[in-house]
Amino acid sequence: MLWLTEPLHYEFMQRALLGCVLVGFTNGFLSAFIVLRRLALLADALSHSLLPGLAVGAIFFGLAPLGLFSGAVIAALLVGVGGQLVARTSRLKDETAIGALYTVSFALGVILLKYARVPVDLNHFLFGNILGISNTDLWIIYLVGFLASVCLVSQQRPLLLALFEPSVAMSVGVPVARLNYLLITLMILAMIASLQAVGVVLSIGLLVLPAATIYLLSDSYSLMMWGGGVLGAAGASIGLLLSYWTNIPSGPAIVLVLGAGFLAALICGPRYGVLARYLRPRHLHGESLARWEKKTRADAPLAPQSTGD
């Protein structure tokens, strides 16, 4: 049984576990809004657009966390705002414009990393390395998590109204556009905070899988938000320990653990799972009743139209 507690004897593993809990909870908490707002593809595009910012930060500031953080924020904002400008000044749709920009920026980032003053492993940025997390990284993750939690909890009611009934929200004075920008900004900050854990390529997994898993198990919005945070923290921690015991990269291990939970909910969910859908007993007269109601509606006489004199 010593192998269970062996990772906790090392300081770097203790720091990595704390980082996993913070990153997992922040992303899982935010993932409820990402799933409900259907921003998964935008999040994927913005996560890839972080690479040139990281490369520029490495060129000018080395591997200083604040330099990398600032470069990644600027790169993501340039791609996000640039996509909106291209869509407004051309016949392209938003997703097409952002897709074009993020692929170009990702390729540019791979090239710029060659000119960094410090030796940088591309896999470190692409897939993360939570074992190398520093105290500064932990502070950045903590501040981003605190900011995201405060903003989302304080703006929960207007955010929900803007998500489900945007026209009604606008009619009662809710700043829908500002809330959307706030959500995208928090999403970018959460992705940047996750880079050390899962990297550019896999950060979308932490932002989507927790809430998507809860969504397959429950209709409760509060459970999606808080349960997603707990599931994200637990999945990230288990993935880190699994990577230690099996000697595999930590970033892919974290996403695979969350992916396994999602797959289990998809197949075995008590209400919306695939097995429940096919094993649920059907009413013997359900199909006959449906056909009868359809036929009754088709045979019903049309209401006479009134004519003016």
Cβ-count burial 91-125 (b if 16+ within 10 Å, e if not): eeeeeebbbbbbeebbebbeebbeebeeebeeebb
Closest CA to 148 of 186, 176, 177, 104: 186
Name the residue with higher pLDDT: 150 or 303.
Answer: 150
Give Dmax (Cα) for the chain. Answer: 93
Residue type, 130: I
pLDDT, position 309: 43
- Cβ atoms 204, 44 nearer than 8 A: yes
Instruction: Give the span between the Cα atoms of 177 and 97, in whole angstroms.
Output: 19
pLDDT category of residue 165 using cuts at 50, 70 and 90: confident
Q: Are 112 and 59 in contact (CB under 8 A)?
A: yes
Q: Encoding tokens for residue 239?
A: 């993935």
Q: How confident is the model at residue 207 (pLDDT cuts 50, 70, 90)?
A: confident
Catalogue all structural domains in the chain, each as residue range(s) with its CATH number.
2-280 (1.10.3470.10)
288 pLDDT tier (thresholds 50, 70, 90): low
Query: CA-CA distance, 8 to 142, in Å (whole number)?
Result: 21
Residues 48 and 76 sit within 8 Å (Cβ to Cβ):
no
pLDDT tens digit string along 1-10? 666 777 777 8
Q: Per-residue pLDDT tens for 31-51?
A: 888 888 887 777 877 888 888
- Provide the phi-psi class of 300: left if phi over 0, else alpha when psi is between -120 and 50, else beta: beta
Q: Are 263 and 212 in contact (CB under 8 A)?
A: no
